[in-house]
Each structure stands twice: as C-alpha cells, then as structure tokens.
C-alpha cells in the first residue's frame, strides 16, 4: 500500500536585533531555521524540543516537497512513533553557526555585504541554547515536557536543562558526553586540519570561488569512521574490492574506500567547511561540570546569574548508550547519570546491545523508541 508522505517546510525566524554570544561578541541580526511537527495543546504543556547532531539540521522528520528521503530522525518522530506527533508538539531548529538556514559563517555580514567567514564570533554550546530560547519564546512555548538529542544534540539537551531546569519536565540524552576526551578532541582536530590544509580554504575566504571540498571530504571520512563499530565495518565491507581489474595505484579499490569516498562527496554538497570548524570547536570546548561550577555566568538576553540547581530536584532524565559506540562509549553516559543523580534528578539509564556503533542513535530505532515512549508516558 502506498502512503502519501507527510510534507513539511523549514521556516526561518529573522530577528532584526542584536544577539550577544557567550564570548561577548555581537551579531547585529540573526536568522533561525526551524521546523515543527504536531500541535501545541491548549495547556501549552506538550512541547518537545529535539536537538540535532553535528551534521544535522532543522529537518528532523517528514518530507520536503520533492525529497526522496525524509528528515534525519523520521524513524523517531511522527504519529505513533517515539515522539508521537499526535500527542506532542515537536520542535527542531538548526544551530547557530550552522549552514542550513540559521546564521553562520556563510551568512552575509550586513556591515560588509560579504559572508562572515572567520569574522563570525566564537561559538559555544550555550550560544546554541540561547538562540533556541529565542525561538521558543517566538513560538509561545514557556515550558517543555522534554528536551532530547543524540551525540552533539545530547550536549545541547544537557546544557539547556542545566541552565534552565525550571523550563523543563525532563531530558533525554542519547550517545553523548559531558565533555570530550583527548581522543575525541584529537579526531575533530585532524578533521579541522584537513580543511585548513586545503589551499581552497584560503583562511576561510572561499565563498567567491570553489570551497575546500577536498579537505571537508576528508574531515567527513575521518568522522564517519568513528560512527561505525569495527565489527559493523568488517561485516559490511570486509576486504571486498570494487575495481578488481584496475591496475591504477593509490586509487580507491576496496569497498570501504568507495564508501568513505561517497560519504565525503555527498557531505560537501550540503555542508559548509567553516561551519564544520566552528561547530566541532564548540563541542570540543563543551564541559558541563565546569559550566555548572561557574556561578558568575555571562548575562545577556534571557540569561540568569547561575542556575538554581535545586530546580533540578525531582525532575526526570533518560540516558541511553550503545554497547558498540566507541566514539561516545557507555562509560561517558554513566558519568552523566552519576552527575544528575547527585542533583536529585531521577535518571533512568539503558545500554542497548548493538553492533551499529555511534550511528545506532540514527539507525537502531526499535528499542530506543520503546524506551522513549515508556519514559514520556511515565511523565504523565
């Protein structure tokens, strides 16, 4: 039976007023790209904010007109799914610093009429949170039933929940961490170096010509290796060769080489190299414990002087990890559980057995869906 796909459009909120970053830098105006699914009820208490990962965007579910594939978390968002749009009003926005509709390095600086490039302000996970608070006010959402995200999305969920616990009933953090390890930083740094070593990067000033496709492609390849487990890669590719008859030296011949090449090429068609630099730098510098211990926070629009940790008491949390995830291993998820338990947040934890590695939060949806549905239902 053929089903008519549910269509959705990405909307853009344009704010003609300054936004101040945690660094103290100011943008004179910002755009925020977002999508919503379902409807806000009369009580205004059924909103769920979904956070995307590094390479994601506001298009989390359903289809855009003419698309062959749905949004990146369509398996989890929709009628009867984990985030049931018959029950919940689901919101997803592209992060500040991104390149999919929200202001970022590729956006035009009104003072010069040219893309910001590296003059775009330094970025933090808290900046991402503050921009989303602006969006929530625009949508008339004062309180959320839940904030949820995987990978970098989990970091945003934790930061938002800690900064404004009074605004949330619960959080869901999937395959994430409170801070990056040396190894996690190292992988991101190699990706950044690949971009900056590309002559076309031109110190971030490439918007009038060909972008640093080679460097960004390599950065994506490096990242993608960390998303899959060794067993998954072995079962999927092994030592199979695609061009068995080719005698060309140093050309991709193994199936896994062609797969990585495809991932790199497809990524450069939709992502900005400078955004990759800014966002990976932001998550490398993310440190939730340090953030919580800093009582004298930067205060700008909507910010408060420190979070009242007592506001977390009695709130609910769900942390999910995957057994074969070596990028964000279960040990880091357990640290999240320990931290929030110390703040008297009632945290549930599940480690799901899978061979899909870190990508399991996007692909292994059956068991997480069951767990999330049960968790959200228990909030009632």
Query: What DSSP line would sit under 204-269, residue for residue?
Result: G--TTS---HHHHHHHHHHHHHHHS-HHHHHHHTTT-BS-TT---TTS--BHHHHHHHHHHHHHHT
The per-residue DSSP string of 283-324 comes to HHT-BHHHHHH--S----TT--SS--GGGGTT-EEEEEEETT
Task: Judge whether residue 201 has pLDDT over 50.
Answer: yes
Three-class SS state of 45 = coil
Q: Which pLDDT value is given to residue 293?
A: 76
The neighbouring-strand residues paired with 33 are 12
Dist. CA 154–CA 53, nearest whole Å: 8
**CATH class (in words) of the domain with range 11-179+286-379:** alpha beta
Lowest mean pLDDT among 227-236, 280-289, 305-314, 347-356: 305-314
> What length is written for the chain?
380
Pure H helices in the chain = 125-139, 152-163, 182-197, 213-227, 230-236, 255-268, 273-284, 288-293, 330-342, 360-363, 366-379
- Of the candidates 211, 14, 206, the one whose C-alpha atom is nearest the C-alpha of residue 102 is 14
Beta carbons within 8 Å of 223's beta carbon, 6+ residues apart: 54, 55, 187, 191
pLDDT, position 292? 84
Distance CA 102, CA 174 (A): 24
pLDDT tens-place string over residues 137-187: 999 999 999 999 999 999 999 999 999 999 999 999 999 999 999 999 999
Average pLDDT over residues 11-33: 97
CATH 1.10.1740.110 residue ranges for the chain = 184-280
The mean pLDDT of 40-67, rounded to a whole number, is 96
Give the contacts of 266 (CB within 8 A, at least 6 positions apart).
none
| Rounded average pLDDT over 337-364 | 96
Could you tell me where in the chain the CATH 3.40.50.1820 domains are found?
11-179+286-379
Is the pLDDT at 274 greater than 90, yes or no?
A: yes
76 close to 369: Cβ distance less than 8 angstroms: yes
Strand, coil or helix: what is 146? strand
Measured between alpha carbons, how far is 360 from 368 in angstroms, rounded to an integer? 10
Higher model confidence: residue 239 or residue 150?
150
The predicted model scores a pTM of: 0.94
pLDDT recorded at residue 295: 46
Low-confidence winner among 93-107, 241-255, 331-345 (lowest mean pLDDT): 241-255
Would you please indicate which residues are annotated as catalytic (active-site) residues? 151, 325, 358
Mutual angle of helices 273-284 and 125-139, in 10-degree steps: 100
**Backbone φ, ψ for residue 269 (5° rounding):** -75, -20
d(CA 27, CA 16): 10
CATH of 184-280, one of 3.40.50.300, 2.60.120.260, 3.10.150.10, 1.10.1740.110: 1.10.1740.110
Say what the pLDDT of residue 264 is.
Answer: 92
Q: Is 42 exposed, middle or buried (0-12, 13-18, 19+ CB in 10 A)?
A: exposed
Mean pLDDT, residues 212-241 taken together: 93
Question: Span 220-248, mean pLDDT?
Answer: 86
Q: Which range, of 8-12, 106-110, 224-228, 294-298, averages the lowest pLDDT?
A: 294-298
Q: Is 378 helix (H, G, I), strand (E, B) or coil?
A: helix
Largest CA distance in the chain: 68
Cβ atoms of 289 and 324 closer than 8 Å: no
Distance CA 57, CA 101 (A): 9
Backbone φ and ψ for 140, nearest 5 degrees, come out as 75, 25
Instruction: Give 248's pLDDT tier (boundaries 50, 70, 90).
Output: low
Pairing state between β 19-20 and 47-51? unpaired
Q: What's the mean pLDDT when you consider all of the chain?
A: 93
């Amino acid at each position: 039976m053929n089903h008519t796909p549910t269509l959705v459009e990405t909307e853009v909120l344009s704010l003609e007023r300054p936004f101040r970053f945690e660094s103290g830098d100011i943008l004179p105006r910002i755009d925020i790209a977002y999508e919503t699914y379902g409807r806000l009820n009369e009580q205004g208490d059924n909103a769920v904010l979904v956070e995307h990962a590094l390479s994601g965007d506001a298009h989390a579910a359903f289809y855009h007109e003419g698309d062959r594939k749905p949004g990146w978390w369509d398996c989890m968002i929709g009628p009867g799914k984990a985030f049931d749009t018959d029950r919940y009003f689901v919101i997803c926005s592209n992060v500040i610093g991104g390149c999919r509709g929200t202001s970022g390095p590729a956006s035009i600086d009104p003072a010069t009429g040219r893309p910001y490039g590296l003059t775009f302000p330094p970025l933090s996970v808290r900046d991402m949170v503050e921009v989303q608070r602006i969006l929530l006010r625009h949508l008339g959402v004062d309180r959320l039933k839940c904030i949820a995200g995987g990978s970098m999305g989990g970091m945003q969920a934790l930061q938002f929940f800690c900064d404004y616990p009074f605004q949330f009933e619960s959080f869901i953090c999937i395959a994430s961490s409170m801070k990056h390890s040396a190894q996690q930083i190292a992988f991101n740094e190699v990706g950044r170096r690949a971009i900056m070593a590309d002559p076309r990067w031109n110190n971030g000033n490439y918007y009038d010509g060909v972008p640093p496709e080679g460097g960004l492609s390599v950065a994506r390849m490096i990242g993608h290796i960390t998303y899959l487990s060794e067993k998954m890669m072995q079962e999927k590719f092994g030592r199979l060769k695609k061009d068995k008859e080719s005698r060309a030296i140093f050309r991709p011949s193994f199936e896994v080489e062609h797969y990585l090449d495809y991932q790199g090429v497809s990524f450069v068609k939709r992502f900005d190299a400078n955004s990759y630099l800014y966002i990976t730098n932001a998550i490398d510098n993310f440190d939730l414990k340090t953030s919580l211990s800093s009582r004298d926070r930067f205060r700008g629009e909507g910010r408060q002087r420190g979070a009242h940790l007592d506001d977390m008491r009695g709130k609910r949390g769900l942390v999910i990890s995957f057994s074969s995830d070596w990028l964000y291993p279960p040990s880091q998820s357990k640290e999240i559980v320990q931290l929030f338990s110390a703040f008297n947040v009632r945290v549930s934890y599940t480690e799901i057995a899978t061979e899909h590695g870190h990508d399991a939060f996007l692909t292994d949806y059956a068991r997480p869906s069951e767990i999330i549905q049960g968790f959200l239902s228990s909030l009632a």
